[in-house]
Structure 1
């Protein structure tokens, strides 16, 4: 009897608070019985929400997921700064007053960050400085200054009236926002920079990632029960069809492309990948089409893609 095809697909997980993204990967490996599980970007332990994991041959698709736009729901606390720009870090300072943080001023502080901007990442981050993670240098007592990076923030939308409250005897303002942004954007930095613009300081108290490209957290399995059950995977073909234009292949074309040959296809030329799908619904590969000829970029052999 032939051995079953290895598992392959994309696993969408709703990460709970208080564990690392690597903990989620470990749970997925146990649940699926395979070590070939990768991720398309992590979340801080404080954050919850969508993680996209690749299983088996479908880890090859993660390269194309990493750079997709993202959506976050967040709560920013104005009036206090922390060493990490979020609630996991020690409080560095409190504002004497949050009077400058009027509703109009708050909206203006966030609006100033919308567009193509140069954003300085949070010092407590995984970015390497001279071969060492920035967060490790900060924890060792060093002052770390990171270079600004180009990011695109599509929108920052306030979803409720700012809430004025008292924390540890200090007045603060909590603001709920939805951020749509490019990959590489630090939501903690948005909170920090809004606080700086208002002259009161700011940090992040809650963060939930709700979407990555075409994938939504509503589709995800619960990360708290992940290792207790076998989760359902999103197939390689369905994943590729969400991410790329599609060209359908006849039987001969599927065989030829699988052998590494260039084949004629009825599809407009593209600069980016196209999903080449066989008549029986199998992802044969990702191709680039030039002058009506498809050339393989990533191959998905039939015995590696599973059902």
Structure 2
């Protein structure tokens, strides 16, 4: 009885490491989702592979315990979004949460035809230079741009190279005084969908901002496979680190001795699969992820190790 009381007082037993897919609701911050998972998982070792604004919904990829080491490789994957761009109005944040700065006159908005919208999207597709939103998380002089903006300090951000591989119009609607454009965007990491809305509106001469945003994919991870915050069962939803690493990098199946050697920092005298470049997941016979390895000279060297006691 004393042992049970002591266990209860110490809180939940930390779960095994893994990757968790969460469908963030509107109005919640990414930090809210991380805090919820920390409580449910019984550990503070929870990280994320890219936040979403409170207004946005959709996919968050979270890592628990040693699986957070995989998040570095998830952050840079391409992403897919569904969004609604409102043409005819600009805001201070380039989205619906900001203050209205300017509203175009009805004649100018009426002149924005479907053909002009498609023509305006074309230059925003492909490899482009994009000026991030002034309320982005980019650091300027050691402070986040959004923090400076809140202090009333004007921030001038430099253009960044991004890739918008797909910018597809799904539907165009025309509520009173505006044009709402539902779009699907596939883009590189670091692309600001709010900036696309701003730049499309500017090119059409009527201004624009984002009214809805949903992230539907990060690399191979789909929002349809994610759990909502309210329905989240962390233990059953966890993806094993080895399974995620196989999906991201391919895998090299080790012998038991190779798994021991790699865990001790030794190099492996192994060949990679034909045409494989970059890291590859090294998986022990029992299915645990030993590490990520890459070729260095004539042998394979670990670039990330995973603790055996956590990954078992």
- TM-score, shorter chain, exceeding 0.5: yes
TM interval, short-chain normalised: over 0.9
C-alpha distance in 1 between matches for 2:138 and 2:254? 43
Is 1:214 paired with 2:223?
A: no
Given that 1:6 and 1:305 are in contact with CA atoms closer than 8 Å, whether structure 2 keeps it comes out as no
Structure 2 residue aligned with 1:72: 81
Distance 2:265 2:87 in 1: 57
Question: Which whole-Å deviations, capped at 9, do the CAs of 1:147-184 have from their partners, x for residues lacking one?
Answer: 11111110101112x11111xxxx10000000000000
- Measure how far apart 1:72 and its partner are: 0.2
Equivalent residue for 1:83, pick from 89, 92, 100: 92
The answer to whether 1:242 aligns with 2:247 is yes
Equivalent residue in structure 1 for 2:168, among 149, 157, 164:
157
Secondary structure at the aligned position of 1:125 is classed as coil
- Matched with 1:233 is 238
Say if 1:100 and 1:199, in contact at 8 Å, map to a contact too.
Answer: no
Counterpart CA distance in 1 for 2:256 and 2:165 is 43
Moved more, 297-306 or 208-217: 297-306
- 1:112 maps onto 2:118 in alignment: no
User: Does the C-alpha gap of structure 1 residues 91 and 5 become closer, same or farther in structure 2, counting only changes over 3 Å?
Assistant: closer
Where structure 2 has 5 or more consecutive residues not aligned to the other structure, the ranges are 1-12
**1:305 positional shift:** 1.5
Contact kept in structure 2, 1:221 and 1:231, CA below 8 Å: no
Query: Comparing 266-275 with 291-300, which one deviates more in the overlay?
Result: 266-275
Whole-Å Cα distance in 2 between the matches of residues 59 and 278 of structure 1? Answer: 19
Instruction: Within 5 Å, give how 1:39-188 maps onto structure 2.
Output: 39-96=48-105, 97-160=108-171, 162-166=172-176, 171-188=177-194
CA contact under 8 A between 2:15 and 2:41: conserved in structure 1?
Answer: no
Answer whether contact 1:163 1:174 (CA < 8 A) is retained. Answer: yes
1:15 is the counterpart of 2:20? no
Structure 2 SS opposite 1:61:
helix
| Unmatched tracts of structure 1, length 5 or more | none
Mapped pair 1:253 → 2:258: yes
C-alpha separation in 2, matches of 1:198 and 1:224 = 41
C-alpha deviation, 1:292, in angstroms: 5.2
Q: Whole-Å Cα distance in 2 between the matches of residues 200 and 255 of structure 1?
A: 63
TM-score, with structure 1 as normaliser:
0.93
| Deviation by residue 1:248-292 (Cα, 9 ceiling, x = unmatched) | 111111111111111112314755211011122111110002455
Deviation at 1:120, TM superposition (A): 0.3
Root mean square deviation of aligned Cα: 1.7
Shift of 1:229: 6.7
